[in-house]
Structure formats: C-alpha cells, structure tokens
Homo-oligomer: A and B are copies of this chain.
Amino acid sequence: MGKSSNVVWHETHVGREDREARRGHKGATIWFTGLSGSGKSTLANELDRRLYEQGRFSYVLDGDNVRHGLNGDLGFSPADRTENIRRIGEVAKLFVDAGALVLTAFISPYRDDRDRVRNIADRPGDFIEVFVDCPLDVCEQRDPKGLYKKARAGEIPEFTGISAPYEAPEQAEITVNTAEMSVVEAVDFILEYLRTGQYLESSSNQD
C-alpha cells in the first residue's frame, strides 16, 4: 500500500451546479407559512408527491421530522421560535446545496425570522415564500389536531392567532388562499410558479 502521509490530499467537491445539472431542476426552499390548520403540511406533502412523480428530488421538513429531533430542545417562547426557524432555515439551505427542492411547513409567525432565512440564501431565488392564507375562523373550524380548542381553553399558552401574534408576509412570492382553493388547485398554482420561474427544466432529464 502506498504511503499517503506526504501526498497532497486534493479535495474534489461535487458542486451544487453539478447536482442540479444532473437532476434537471434547481434547488430551492419553498417556505410555507401560515396559521395552524391553514394547510401548510397538506400542501407541502401533496407538492412533494407531485414533484416525486415528476422524478424531482424534493423533501418535506415539518413538525413531524424536526420538532422531536433537531429542535427537540426548543419550546415555544419567542426566543425558541426564532431559534427553531433559524435552524430549519440552515437545514433547508443544506438540502438546497444538495440540489433539492425542500418544502418547509412551519407556522413561522415572525416576519424577521423568515426574512433571516431568506437572507442566508446563496442565490436570489433560492427562497420562495408561500403564504398559506386562511382566515382564523376557518382554521379554527378545521382544527385538525384540536389545538384551537385547547388554546381557547387556556391549555396552550402562546398559541399563534389566539394568544401569540402571526405576522403575515408582505411580499410573499406566492399566496394561496386555502379557504377558496382546493389542495390540487393550490399545488397546481405553485407548480406553475416553479415552471414559469425556470426552477423545473424538462422532466426528460430526470432525478
């Protein structure tokens, strides 16, 4: 075996451009923000499925896979919410660097937190903010996890929309009103944005 201790160890990096060229689509973070029950996770998972069927490389980050793992040490105070979003933004950036369309589904109520994620992006266009706009009363009527009921009963402190603020985006790239659009309509709308913005090239050069 050759001694390598004196060999110059060249570093060869596979770059983001290489991965994107191979995959036939750009990497980007598609950041869903909105109230609990607005449909963020449903939209993200349906978009993920559609992209998967097209042979794209996509992945969903949501409470299910982040809150108990990476961010299991964080609570719901303003400082912890900020740190929660900071870490998610950094992880999303790693996925983007790996060439992924990464879909994040978190309430992410603070505008400054979302803007910080936008600002760490390597390229313009890497961060696509999707405002999942749905009136509070509709979200509360859906209440898929019974959280609004508990929040109204005072059992959940600092619940966004009830006892903690939600700061709606002022310049989201995409807004979908889920009280008026079906899941399929909303996902089609987002896919059209991705096509028009040339995130998705021909699907002939598949993932």
Contact B90 A69 (CB under 8 A): yes
Contact B182 A59 (CB under 8 A): no
Cβ-based interface call for A81 (8 A): no
Contact A65 B48 (CB under 8 A): no
Contact B48 A14 (CB under 8 A): yes
Q: How far is the CB of A118 from chain B (nearest CB, A)?
A: 15
Q: Cβ of A66: which chain B residues have Cβ within 8 Å of it?
A: 94
Smallest Cβ-Cβ distance to A97: which chain B residue: B65
Number of interface residues of A (CB under 8 A): 56
Contact B1 A182 (CB under 8 A): yes
Among the 9-residue stretches A136-144, A164-172, A191-199, the one with 4 or more Cβ atoms under 8 Å from chain B is A136-144
CA distance A179 to B95 in the complex (A): 33
CB neighbors of B among A22-61 (8 A): 22, 39, 41-42, 45-46, 48-49, 52, 55, 57-61
CA distance A66 to B91 in the complex (A): 9
CB-contact partner of A98 in B59, B87, B138, under 8 A: B59
Interface bits A92-116 vs B (CB < 8 Å: 1, else 0): 0111011010000000000000000
Cβ-based interface call for A12 (8 A): yes
Contact A3 B179 (CB under 8 A): yes
CA distance A18 to B52 in the complex (A): 9
Q: Cβ of A48: which chain B residues have Cβ within 8 Å of it?
A: 13-14
Interface residue ranges, A against B (CB under 8 Å): 1-5, 7, 9-14, 18-19, 22, 39, 41-42, 45-46, 48-49, 52, 55, 57-61, 65-66, 69-70, 87, 90-91, 93-95, 97-98, 100, 120, 134, 138, 141-142, 144, 178-183, 185, 207
